[in-house]
């Protein structure tokens, strides 16, 4: 079945460091790919998405590129801030399917 | 847009009791989803509705679980004869019917503790 694997956390970085959170997936066909973020005390919210191969999703300085050849959707940010501390979830949905399949989440802590 | 609202925020119950959770989606959203999240894991799909029709149920949804969306607006999730393994965060989400790329809008969840 479909699955998403994220790099294990927790990840701790200093402010202004470069961030990469790896995400790979297994799915039939061409799924849509998503990154969701959960800030402390808040619900999950969509960070960015990409719906076809080579698409790049971006938002709030974060980027992720849909790589069909490596079945990956790694999340990157050039310079992280303390306010980026949260749990990040990679997810997919298959064409015609309505449900999201999530990875296990990566907790990110940014120290000042 | 007031967001997705879930009630209650927390529920503590004794094993064997029944519990019911409520979700109010964003008003114009016709799709509504229930997910379950345990500590350190990502959300797992339970079921989804398009308007009032329940179109898909996960194998995770045992016979003790039932969900309804009677008028295509709010939804309820009931767990009968709760077990300790039911302890989790229950998340509701809603979306517009725009295909598989539609983003889901999540509520803050109901945290269930079964003692």
Residue A97 — very low, low, confident or very high, per pLDDT cuts 50/70/90?
Answer: confident
Q: B25 in contact with A at a CB cutoff of 8 Å?
A: no
| pLDDT (mean) for A91-100 | 84
What pLDDT is recorded for position B90? 97
Nearest to B46 by CA among B57, B30, B31, B32: B57
Q: B69 at the A interface (CB within 8 A)?
A: no
Token readout for B60 is 């995770």
Under an 8 A CB cutoff, do B43 and A94 touch? no
B43 close to A (CB below 8 A): yes
**How confident is the model at residue B28, as a pLDDT?**
87
Give the three-state DSSP class for B86: helix
Alpha-helix runs per DSSP H in B1-115: none
Percent of chain A surpassing pLDDT 70: 100
- Give the best residue of B26, B40, B42, B50 to mutate against chain A (max A CB count within 10 A): B42
Residues of chain B falling short of pLDDT 70: 1, 97-101
Q: Of A97, A13, A48, A2, whose CA–CA distance to B31 is shortest?
A: A97
Tell if the CB–CB gap between B31 and A101 is shorter than 8 Å: no
Q: How many CB pairs (< 8 A) connect A and B? A: 64
Q: Say if residues B11 and B110 touch (Cβ distance below 8 Å).
A: yes
Q: Within a 10 A sphere around the Cβ of B72, how many other Cβ atoms?
A: 14
Distance from CA of A96 to the nearest CA of B (A): 6
Where is average pLDDT lowest: A13-22, A80-89, B64-73?
B64-73
Closest CA to B49 of B68, B22, B77, B28: B68
Which among B40, B41, B109 has CB closest to A43?
A: B109
In angstroms, rounded to a whole number, what is the distance separating the alpha carbons of residues A34 and A19? Answer: 17
User: For residue A25, what are the CA distances in angstroms to A18, A72, A86, A107?
Assistant: 23, 6, 22, 19
Q: Would you list the DSSP string of A36-80? A: EEE-TTS--EEEEEE-STT-EEEETTEEEE-BTTTTB--EEESS-
CB of B90 closer than 8 Å to CB of B38: no
**E strand or H helix that includes residue B68:** strand B65-68
Comparing CA positions, the residue from A94, A108, A106 lying closest to residue A30 is A94
Task: Encode pLDDT of B96-108 as tens digits.
Answer: 866 556 788 999 9
Q: How many CA atoms lie within 13 A of A17 on its CB side?
A: 16
Q: How many CA within 13 A on the CB side of residue A97?
A: 19
pLDDT for position B103: 82
- Closest-CA residue of B relative to A98 is B100
Residues 6+ apart with CB under 8 A from B20: B76, B77, B78, B79
């Amino acid at each position: 079945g479909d699955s998403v694997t994220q790099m294990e956390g927790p990840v701790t970085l200093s402010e202004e460091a470069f961030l990469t959170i790896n995400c790979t997936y297994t799915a039939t066909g061409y799924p849509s790919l998503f990154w969701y973020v959960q800030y402390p005390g808040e619900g999950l919210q969509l960070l960015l998405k990409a719906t076809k191969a080579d698409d790049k999703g971006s938002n709030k300085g974060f980027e992720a590129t849909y790589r069909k050849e490596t079945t990956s959707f790694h999340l990157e940010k050039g310079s992280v801030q303390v306010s980026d501390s949260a749990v990040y979830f990679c997810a997919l949905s298959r064409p015609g399917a309505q449900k999201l399949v999530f990875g296990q989440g990566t907790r990110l802590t940014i120290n000042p | 847009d007031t967001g997705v609202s879930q009630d209650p925020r927390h529920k503590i119950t004794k094993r064997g009791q029944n519990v019911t959770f409520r979700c109010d989606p964003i008003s114009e959203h016709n799709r509504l989803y229930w997910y379950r999240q345990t500590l350190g894991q990502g959300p797992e799909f339970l079921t989804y509705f398009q308007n009032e029709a329940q179109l898909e149920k996960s194998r995770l949804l045992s016979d003790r679980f039932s969900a309804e969306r009677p008028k295509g607006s709010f939804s309820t999730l009931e767990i009968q004869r709760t077990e300790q393994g039911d302890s989790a965060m229950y998340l509701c989400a809603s979306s517009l019917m725009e295909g598989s790329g539609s983003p889901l809008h999540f509520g803050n969840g109901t945290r269930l503790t079964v003692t």
